[in-house]
Every structure is written in C-alpha cells, then in structure tokens.
Amino acid sequence: MPTKIEWANEVWNPVTGCTKVDEGCRNCYAERMSKRLKGRCGYPADDPFRVTLHPDRLDKPLHWRKPRRVFVNSMSDLFHKDVPHEIIGSVWVMMEACPQHQFIILTKRADLMRRVITGYLLSPLPNVWLGVSVHDQASADERLPVLLQTPAAKRFLSIEPCLGAVDFAPRPDTYSWLQNTVVDFTPNGQKITNIPALDLVILGGESGPGARPMHPDWARSVRDQCQAAGVPFMFKQWGEYCPPRQLSPEEFRNWVEAGTLMWDDRPQDVPYKVGKKAAGRLLDGVIHDGE
C-alpha cells in the first residue's frame, strides 16, 4: 500500500497489531488507525490492535514491478514476542527474493531483534535496513547500543516522537555512538579512521490527537551531532506544534494575519499548536532529507 511517510513509499504488513512499551507509544497512530478499521481489512472486530498474522500478504513484494522503499510492518512490530520466528524467517526469505526493493524494519524491541537474528543466523541482507525507535535519552541508552551490536547491512535510528534531548556520547565513555573507530595496520604503524556507525538518523515531533510539543533545541542538537559525525540526518516533521519562527514565511504570515500568532515578548522557541501541515519540515529554514 502506498504511504505518505517521508522515508518510504510503500508499506507491507504481514503482521498487524502491537502492545505499548513506553511513553513514546502513548498516542500510537497504528492503534488509532486499527480502531477505525476494526472488523475490516483483517483487523479483528473485538480487539483490532491484537497481534494478528496475515500469511496471505507475505508474497506481496513479488508483485511490485518497480523498485520500492518498503516500511515493513508499519502497523506492528516484526519483533513482538507474539510474532512466531517462522513468520520472521518467511519475511526474511521474501526480502532476499526481492533485491530490487529496499526494506526498512523499525522496532522498539531491540533485544528481541538481536536474539532472533543471531539465534536463527539470519544473514544481513544488502537491501534491508534495521532500525530502532526511541523518544528520549533513556530509550536511546537502552536500544541504540543493541542495534549497533546487531548484524545488519544498514542501520538507522528513529527519534519520533521526540520527547526529550538525546546525546549520543554514552556515559561514562567519551566516544560517540554515531561513529566507529577503524584501526588499519600499515608498514608505518596504525591508521585510525572514524566512520559513521549509523546510515541515517530520523527525527520528528508528535502529530495527531494528544500530541506533545517538541523543543527546537532537541532537534538542533541531534542535527549538529549527526553533521559532526558524518551521519545523514532527516528532519521528518514538527508535528502538531511549531515555534512561529520555524514556520515557512507563507505560513507565518497566514497565522499572523489570522490573529493566532502575536508579536509580543514570548521567546521565539515557544511552540504553538498550528497543525502538522502548517508546521511543515523546516528546521531553522532548511529541509533535511537524509543528506
């Protein structure tokens, strides 16, 4: 199914349904959507967000002629404890059979992902990206090191919804999670090179009912750390809230003329609820698309 998600153009859901694990799940869009679809499209009428297997959807990628960037299980978590390992293996086989597509897998269950991949010897596939979803420092401290220890051809981090600052220099160490140090032995000694540890960092504010605002300094800090480490950064969205100075000139003018935004003494970084569409994707006037 086509999607408007900025970092994918297709979703593939051989599994639907999930359970909440942290504060970032509070306003889960997938749960909200499943309730709208209950009793239809394979979502159980009694509990639409129950983990549900859809083996009839496993071969869908074989029928896509043009190469696509596919979000795997946008309505679930492939590494949920209720997803049988056989299903995960079948997903792996299908991704290997479709090298023309890029498959993007995102989980909050980093430990389960590592155990399944290493325990079942699932080989890293060149067309598969593995990522973890975090929302603040504590969740990043828990999941990012596990991701970096998981065999993968491509790794990425999603900080969405961003509910707090994230510093990539773990305590008590001084190195950054964003870089790997490679040591090459040469006839003249050692050559030390720092290379990016992640292939992409995505960051976005929260949208939908009950959305919580994001401070621009949280986004700026991650942007700056990624730039310093040479890691591509994507600013996905502000979400429902946006500081007035972060709006596009056109949207800023529209909201001022409507009387919603006032010229006063408030700090420029105070967010207003303007809606996802108006808030847009500009961070300090720049679109960051994973460059």
* Per-residue pLDDT tens digits for 130-184: 999 999 999 999 999 999 999 999 999 999 999 999 999 887 766 788 988 776 7
Q: Are 97 and 132 in contact (CB under 8 A)?
A: no
Tokens 């140090």 found at: 181
Rounded to the nearest integer, the mean pLDDT of the chain is: 91
Which of helix, strand or coil describes residue 186?
strand
Q: Most confidently modeled of 1-5, 77-81, 250-254?
A: 77-81
User: What's the pTM?
Assistant: 0.92
The pLDDT of residue 282 is 96
CA distance 219 to 87: 36
For range 98-112, the mean pLDDT: 98
CA distance 129 to 125: 8
For range 17-44, the mean pLDDT: 94
